[in-house]
Structure 1
Amino acid sequence: MPHPRTRLRSLAVATMALALLGSLAPAAHAAPSESELNKQIETESNKLEDITESFNKLRLDIAKTAADQKKLQASLAPAKAQLLVASAQVDTIAATTYKQGRVGPVSAVLGGERDSLIDRMSYLDQITRANQRDINTFTETTETFADRQAALKVTQDKQAAQLKELEARKKKIEADIKKLRALRTQAYGSPTESASSGAAGKAPSISGSAGVAVDYAYAAANKPAYYGYGDSGPNTYDCSGLTSAAWKAAGKSLPHNAAAQYSATARITKAQLKPGDLVFYRSLGHVGLYVGGGMIIDASREGEPVKKRSMNVMTPYGYGRVK
């Protein structure tokens, strides 16, 4: 016969479970087991990390769009300069015509000996054609500029909408994880989490830039630093934020996105792994820094610390070496 207090706790857990929405809701007539709750938390945490990496990719795209906009503005400057020169020359001829009559421009350009008449007339014709070319170039450039600017505006609006959607999805998943953790705590108590200072131990002695990156990751794990959406330190990191920050300390630039880091690194095999290499997971949804001995240091879960753990905690997708 179960203890009355145990029965009351089970009833409370079952009631709370019914309040969770959609796929988060456990069985209607029984409290979920701790392993079931952990599995649901794991699933939702993976969704959150996917959103984090989508956010990081979008942030890179937004930066590129801003750079394209700046480059587009700069591209108009040469055409503007040519237009100013052409306009000045046209104004000079027009002013001379007004002062000297219909033959004024010819006189202004031709003046001097009669035998050079043909050469001077040719020169006037060249100026006129050059002016028209510059005016035409400016017109074409501004039309192209307007088209490209309109296209960039469409891209910027689309990116802003995507950013808003990701933020809404992030908030919902964070709320779902919070409910699941509260449910687990009420039923089974708080899980023990290795988050003490120095938990990763002493960093191995590794030479070169890889050693600097590994030392950085160990320092983050030993703080301990924690997972933070879109963050790259010094106290909170997401997975690609930690690897990019570690290699930045070593003087190498990596984009803040797991998929982009995969593209930016050289492909290696598992047998070729060395400390400082990157290990990718979940179809490029996660990345960790290999520190040797079959271990990685990574930022993996919202609310959890950066930690050192087995590289086989998930099935690796691939491996990369920073160039």
Structure 2
Amino acid sequence: MVAQACTDIEHRSRAGAILRRIAAYTGVTVATVGLVTAFAGSRAHAADIEYDTASAAEIEAHLEDLEARRDDAATSLTGLQTQLTAAQAVITAATEDYGTTGAQLLDVTAAVESAEDELGAKVSTLVEYAQEQSDKYAEAEAATETADQLEPQIAALEAQVEELDAQIDEAEAAYDEAAEAEAEAAAAAEAEAEAESESASSSSDSGSTAEYSADAATAAVQFAKDQLGESYVFGAAGPDTWDCSGLIAGAYGVSGVSLTHSTWAMWDETSAISRDELQPGDLVFYNGQGHVAMYIGDGQVIHAPKPGDVVKISDLDMGMSIDGYRRV
């Protein structure tokens, strides 16, 4: 009974020593188990954010938090993958050393033959060989257990890194959109203030000196409509591609009216009118005089909007700030 107890104690002690030796070799510690759970608990999901209503600064802070979480997860993943590789190396080495049954038989036979003729020596040799094989098996078993623990943790961290990458891409796109919208809003506000100032200074002659040329205006509207669906190209003035001022200059050019291919110059070359005076062929300027369209009646304009778009008809109030109304 005492001998059996001693044997059990020795077995547990030896197994513990082997496990500690494997752990030291692979870099695995008790703290490693449950690492993914601990990581997920220590870094909760970033604060919820509504991209549609958040400012660029708020989205930027959210993005930085996501990137920090992604870096933490990637670092943990690298550590676990290193540990798994080491454990698998132990398993491979033990398998190579342990060998097949035939190889073991050859090893035993060689060990016995090399021992002294005395039976006790041979038995001792066999016991030592058996103990060596038992230790190798235990090492491989401990390394296998470690690998089994690491693999699901690695899979969970890989999924976490992938999800964070997707969230980072989404946040970056939202940040770009918010920053662009804020810049456009600031520019529009500045343009509106300038337009109000200019409108106040020119209100005295609004409509009083602007003579309407029906023939030229009608021809210009028809010309512009004939270009519907043709592509926008910056700096283009026909015959098949246009930018906003190029379309207007081309439309009035058919009647011999010369307008400079520039929205700002075109503003200076035309006369101010009020919104109530708008007639087909009159011009509407937007976004700090950076865009121009032609009024065609019924609250609509025709214009060449932007890269990637085509000549088309839009509402007079199409979302851009209006600087003023001019007559050629």
TM-score (norm 2): 0.38
TM-score (norm 1): 0.38
Instruction: State the structure with more CA Rg.
Output: 2
